[in-house]
Amino acid sequence: MSGRPESGPEPCPAARPLGTALVTGGASGIGLAIARGLVARGFGVVVTGRTEPDADLGPHLDFLRVDHADPRAADAVAAATGALERFGPLTALVNNVGRRHNDAIADLDRASLLETLALNTVSPMLLTSRLAPRLGDARGAVVNVSSRLAVVGMPGVAGYAASKGAINAFTVAAAVELAPLGIRVNAVAPGMTRTPLIEAWLAEQPDPAAAEAHVSDRVPLGRLGRPEDVAGAVVFLASPESAFITGAVLPADGGYTVS
């Protein structure tokens, strides 16, 4: 759980107008799109992950090596004072890290299920707990990345859905408990989004174009989400424009959950 490897340029220490945002699991896909969106909005951003992104991070985006499956991860991140204040005070935490769990109920395995719950649910709860004092000092925001599957039933994803349903419940409970500290807590619930995982799934189908058309037909806006669609919702909830919003779970699913 060390910071940037010894090789490579030193991170830029210059403060950003909106301070530092921490994005867990921000090395690729939705997490990296969120990080770039926050930078564009005026945050300096530190992303966490097990491996550093291949993409050029730029001067306002830094990397902190963290394995959030490690039970000590939250404490280690909280102790990384230099990273948390890289671009000014810590003003936003985006709990994005997670893993899929695609087992039918009949096939649920205790060990695998506990791994999913530990990473998807316990990890963001503990990180929020450890960073709340810093976020309170800056009257900051927490944004949890949930899923449409927390509220929409689908076969084969019970473990994943349960982990994200717990995140929705944590969001509303934490919003009330942390409000006296000036901390807002919200969540974004993406629908099916064109991440590398979904791209790989489409490529495995006998007719990828037909498979995409089939899933897109179930979305009122008629297409799959893009990482930038999710990022836009997260950036809004992390920014001053949403200063009077807390306890919300905002769908970013093209209307899927209301249809």
Instruction: Give the CATH number of the domain where residue 168 resides.
Output: 3.40.50.720
| Residue 198 covered by a domain | no
- Domain-located, residue 220: no
Of residues 244 and 8, more confidence is placed in: 244
pLDDT score for 197:
75
Indicate whether 98 belongs to any domain: yes
Q: Is residue 12 part of a domain?
A: no
| pLDDT higher than 70, residue 2 | no
Does 119 score more than 50 pLDDT?
A: yes
Confidence grade of residue 199 (pLDDT, cut at 50, 70, 90): confident
Report pLDDT digits (tens) over 127-171. Answer: 999 999 999 999 999 999 999 988 998 888 899 999 999 999 999
Q: What are phi and psi of 91, to 5 degrees?
A: -115, -10
Mean pLDDT of 187-201: 86
pLDDT of residue 200: 81
Label residue 81 exposed, middle or buried (CB < 10 Å: 0-12, 13-18, 19+).
exposed
- Say whether pTM exceeds 0.95: no
Residue 60 lies in a domain: yes
Whether residue 206 is predicted with pLDDT greater than 80 in this model: the reply is: yes
Q: Are 209 and 13 in contact (CB under 8 A)?
A: no
Confidence of residue 99 (pLDDT cuts 50, 70, 90): confident
Pair of tokens at residue 138: 């800056």
**Assigned domain for 134 exists:** yes
What pLDDT does 255 receive? 93
State pLDDT tens for residues 169-188: 999 999 999 999 999 999 99
Q: Which residues contact 19 (CB under 8 A, 6 or more apart)?
A: 43, 44, 87, 88, 89, 90, 91, 92, 138, 140
Tell me the pairing of strands 184-190 and 61-65: unpaired
Helix, strand, coil shares of the chain, percent, nearest 5, are 45, 15, 40
For this structure, is 160 an active site residue? yes
Range of the domain at 101: 20-192+227-258
Is there a domain that residue 204 lies in? no
Among residues 160, 163, 178, 186, the one annotated as catalytic is 160
Give per-residue pLDDT as tens, 17-70.
999 999 999 988 999 999 999 999 999 999 999 998 878 889 999 999 999 999
Q: Are strands 20-23 and 90-95 parallel, antiparallel or unpaired?
A: parallel
Q: What is the pLDDT of residue 202?
A: 85
Q: Quick count: other Cβ atoms within 10 Å of Cβ 164?
A: 26
The count of domains in the chain is 1
Mean pLDDT over each residue of the chain, to the nearest integer: 91
Closest CA to 123 of 98, 159, 156: 98
Question: Residue 33 falls within a domain, yes or no?
Answer: yes
In this predicted model, what pLDDT tens digit does every residue of 8-19 receive, in sequence order? 445 455 789 999
Q: What are all long-range contacts of 212-221, with beta carbons under 8 Å and residues at least 24 apart?
A: 218/256, 218/259, 219/191, 219/192, 219/253, 219/254, 219/255, 219/256, 219/259, 220/254, 220/255, 220/256, 220/258, 220/259, 221/254, 221/255
102, burial (CB in 10 Å: exposed 0-12, middle 13-18, buried 19+): exposed
Percent of all residues in the chain with a pLDDT value above 70, rounded to a whole number: 95
pLDDT of residue 232: 97
